Amino acid sequence: MFSILIAARNEAAALPQLLRDLAAQTLPAAQFEVLIADDHSTDATAALVAAAAAASAFSLRLIALPAAETGKKAALQAALKAARAPWLVCTDADCRLGPGWLAAYAALIYQKPAVNFISGPVLLTGPDTLFAQLMGLEFAGLVGVGAACLVRQQPTMCNGANLAYRRATFEAVGGFADNAHLASGDDEFLLHKIHAAFPGTAHFLADGAAVVHTAAPPTLRALLRQRVRWASKWRHYQSPASRRLALLVLGANVALAVGAGAGLVWPALWPWVLAAWALKLGGDVWFMAPVLRFLGRRKWLPLLPLLQVLYAPYALGVGVAGLRGGYEWKGRTVK
């Protein structure tokens, strides 16, 4: 039923945990296969997968990229060519999965036979520090917004660490063909194309068993690199909903920062400035409370005021850096 596609580059340390999670799936091993595409790793990734394949209860294959091909999209495309199932499920090599992960996908496909694309929930994990909790809270907001937009059938964002799509639908919309030159966006560009070609067939998998855990960036520098990589694809969006959302988020946070600056110059404006901040915070609390409850992280909710203060300069800086283009990923400089 499922071909699980995983792009891996220098993931020898993380893959054993992922393979154990896949072996523990409640869905019978005969109903899925796993294809790991090695993106020219310089560690023991290839040897580890080859050894695991010899003893695996499920079908596990190593796909090696040709010398001329690099990057996540090329890796996924190579794995897809070797895949045998009608449904393609994507996750990352450094993710952790619950035993009901695949069964949750199967249940949604059974409930909605016309579905073509499924976006799953992702939770950031890390040490119990203030920095890690703020990262997790911000990421939970992205997951919540992506889910809400899918419910309204105006899809904007999803995450390649947890999604699935029909192989036939992927081929019908041309796969990655028109954005293969962009290193990022293997997830969201595909979501937008499938929605445009088959409206109403993209759904969010609102099942706690489907939550994928992924490690938070360990440092502020790593976080900014990741977010700039994500932001680098914004200017290439063709989806009106995604463009509107990007402008709304950036505009709202910049407006709050400008208002605070105006209050310092003209103190009489402070009641209006504080009212605007309170209105924004109230909306965030109303939206985020059920999202955090679903993810089991209600304890992060009190951090929303601090995140709101920090988010304006953060969003503006990441947005400008993303427009400029160029970032480092997996030891490679990408333009």
Given a cut of 50, is residue 260 above it in pLDDT?
A: yes
Given a cut of 80, is residue 331 above it in pLDDT?
A: no
C-alpha distances (whole Å) from 37 to each of 50, 62, 188, 305 are: 12, 6, 20, 42
What are the pLDDT digits (tens) for 12-47? 999 999 999 999 999 999 999 999 999 999 999 999
Given a cut of 60, is residue 183 above it in pLDDT?
A: no
Helix (H) or strand (E) holding 213: strand 212-215
Given a cut of 60, is residue 1 above it in pLDDT?
A: yes
Query: How much is the pLDDT for 316?
Result: 73
Q: What sign has the CA pseudo-torsion 294, 299, 301, 303?
A: negative
Mean pLDDT of 290-296: 97
What are the pLDDT digits (tens) for 269-282? 999 989 998 999 99
- In one-letter notation, the amino acid at residue 209 is A
Sequential DSSP letters for 76-130: HHHHHHH--SSEEEE--TTEEE-TTHHHHHHHHHHH-TT--EEE--EEEE--SSH
Return mean pLDDT, the chain.
88
Burial class (CB in 10 A: 0-12, 13-18, 19+), 148: middle
Reported pTM: 0.89
